[in-house]
Amino acid sequence: MSANGSSKYPGVTPPIAVAESSPKEKELTASLLEELRRQGMLESEEEAKTRTIVLERIAALVKKFVRTVSLARGLSEAAATAAGGKIFTFGSYRLGVHGPGSDIDTLCVVPKHVSREDFFDVFEHMLKDTEGVTEVSGVPDAYVPIIKLKILGIPIDLVMARLALSTIPDDLSLQDDNLLRNLDERCVRSLNGSRVTDEILRLVPNDSVFREALRCIKLWAQRRAIYSNVNGFLGGVAWAMLVARICQFYPKAVAGAIVSRFFIIMYQWNWPTPVLLKPIEDGPLSVRVWNPKLYPSDRAHRMPIITPAYPAMCATHNVTQSTQMIMTGEFKKAADIVDRVVVGKANWSELFSKHDFFHRYRYYLQIIASTGSSDLQIKWAGTVESRIRQLVIKLEYVESLELAHPFIKGFEQVSYCLNDEEVRAVAQGDISEAVAKRKKQDIEGKEGASAVHSTTFYIGLAVEPRQPGSIGPRRLDISYPTTEFTKLVKMWEKFDEQKMGIVVRHIKRSPLVQSAFSGVADAPVCSAALPDYVFEEGERQPRPVLKRPKKEATDRSSNTSPDMPNKKPRHMLPETTTTTHPHEHFKENGNTLPHVNMVTTVDRPPSTAGLYTSNVKDPAEIKSPQLSRSENVALTTVAPSAR
């Protein structure tokens, strides 16, 4: 019997409705699936066959790896061969919602005499020496240690788990909780991906409906730039669990009906009430299970979505105040679009319109990670990206900063420089037209020339609207969060100031944004604007902000009036409006790159710059036109509180 008292339907509560979908909802589903095909969400038959070949090759390599290590440990030929080794897929591929070019999340399960060090020392080198394998990069210090690579052009993310078994049989199943005994936390986390994926599929009432709806939600989240766990949004597993929960609410509904209810229910959801697919269970290990009544850090989770496999964990612990606000706004926009689709006033294609991140804000933070080699850049850029969430959290404490919006990916570039001056400029984000056009062959054989590998990340800054009656330009001091961020990334144990560069600066949406504000000329404002590479070909770039007519100064408008309040920032933030750190140089291939150059002054825009606060309401106040009265009533009872 399931947790809701019914053996028929999975979930922690009874369904909201068990009626079959209407003919109209079935028509909407047909048109939705056709739109997903037009959007290129389905891979070709040829690519599907390639993925099968790739997985077969990985499975063979894992067995070879285990056998090699077993022989090195002194096992006989027969015992080394019998030691086995097996792979399991998880994530989007296992869920059946991967698309063209998607990676395959793969778990390698090995016996107890094969160590994690062997995985990175032996297996990683074995992969590099294998024909057809490219871009191999191990990240042993990651929260879940991983090797990234490509086989026949298919991206693969490999994680490893060592079980307390002498051999790994080909028919091994990971469903038994007792397999987690005597494992370290990293192995438990590695196993968790596969166990969670399988449990999600077990807990949805209809696999095909779940997959169709999830394809839609996944594409929508990617297009709206809110698909990224590391940056504080939701990752693939979290989106899958949300869709699975809506499927549990409507077990007989078709995909179109699931999608039409998904957005409004998520918009109304009474966070931080957790999303659960099954009751949280105890198990055989003395490991931490998500429990907000016991652990203060669990109570701090803003949008808890709890994994269904033991040990239960929060898949959304990275969500911040800003990213929650952004996702809430996107839920509302999507709900409005689907409302219009239902009544025939819009098409499904509108739901998948591209984000407007680089058109939305007046100011952005630009974080540039740079090195002199491609292999080192992968590790350094990944480290910097994993810390950006901490910068967002610190920015949220800055007075008058309404929202800090991280973009979900970095922009990678390789710049070919002829001299130290060009190298320094590139590391600071200033890439001249000449450098941008230069190719690798243009610097070959030239003394002092080298390549700079850089990855640039962006955070949009939304400032509170100017209060009525406020006079004169005001500055927003963000020097403390940015300074602390650079300190944080340099605390990485493998940080080498001679080889790695980190630059944080603020830039403007348009070169003429500054002229929209009076009195700004005295401030040391960064002159850079958003670079062309953040826009797609043919995309219209933001129009420059026209200069306001200058008004005659009066005593009343003077920003030096003694009547103006001298309000200090919260949390004792530094009063200085600009922080510029000395250049700390590093050399790579004979070139010197600046380590930090941080300019962190922005000006407060007028009240028209308000973004989310005006349209994001308290979910408890929303009465949705999409849900019937009985559904709205049911929704208030189906989300058990863990608080």
Q: Say whether 236 counts as a known binding-site residue.
A: yes
The reply, when asked if residue 264 is annotated as ligand binding, is no
Is residue 67 within 8 Å of residue 185, measured between CB atoms? Answer: no
- Find the catalytic residue in 218, 278, 379, 394: 218
Residue 103 annotated as lining a ligand binding site: yes
Map tokens 């940015």 to a residue.
Answer: 482
**Which residue among the candidates 92, 228, 370, 479 is catalytic per the annotation?**
92
Catalytic residue check, 227 = yes
Catalytic residue among 93, 227, 480, 612: 227
Q: Is residue 105 a known part of a binding site? A: yes
Is 283 assigned to a binding site? no
Q: Is residue 136 helix, strand or coil?
A: strand
Helices (H), 396-432: 420-427
To the query of whether residue 218 is one of the catalytic residues in this protein, the response is yes
SS3 413: strand
CA distance 390 to 348: 36
Q: Is 496 annotated as a binding residue?
A: no
How far apart, in Å, are the Cα atoms of 213 and each of 28, 207, 319, 518, 616?
12, 10, 23, 50, 25
User: Is 446 within 8 Å of 459 (Cβ atoms)?
Assistant: no
Q: Is residue 105 annotated as part of the catalytic site, yes or no?
A: yes
- Return all residues near 37 (Cβ < 8 A) that are at least 6 apart: none
The H-or-E segment that residue 159 falls in is strand 154-162
Catalytic residue among 6, 64, 103, 499: 103
Whole-angstrom CA distances from 553 to 113, 425, 472, 557, 561 are 79, 40, 10, 6, 12
Does 104 appear as a known binding residue? yes
In the chain, % helix, strand, coil (3-state, to 5) comes to: 40, 15, 45
Q: Which of 157, 198, 298, 477 is catalytic?
A: 157
Q: Which of 63, 86, 105, 479 is catalytic?
A: 105
Residue 198: active-site member = no
* 219, amino acid identity: L
CB contact set of 638 (below 8 Å; sequence gap of 6+) = 13, 14, 16, 249
Compute the distance between CA of residue 118 and CA of residue 256 in angstroms, rounded to an integer: 48
The answer to whether the annotation marks 262 as part of a ligand binding site is no
Residue numbering of the annotated binding site for Mg(2+): 103, 105, 157
Which residues are known catalytic residues? 92, 103, 105, 157, 218, 227
Residue numbering of the annotated binding site: 90-92, 103-105, 157, 218, 227, 236-237
Residue numbering of the annotated binding site for ATP: 90-92, 103-105, 157, 218, 227, 236-237
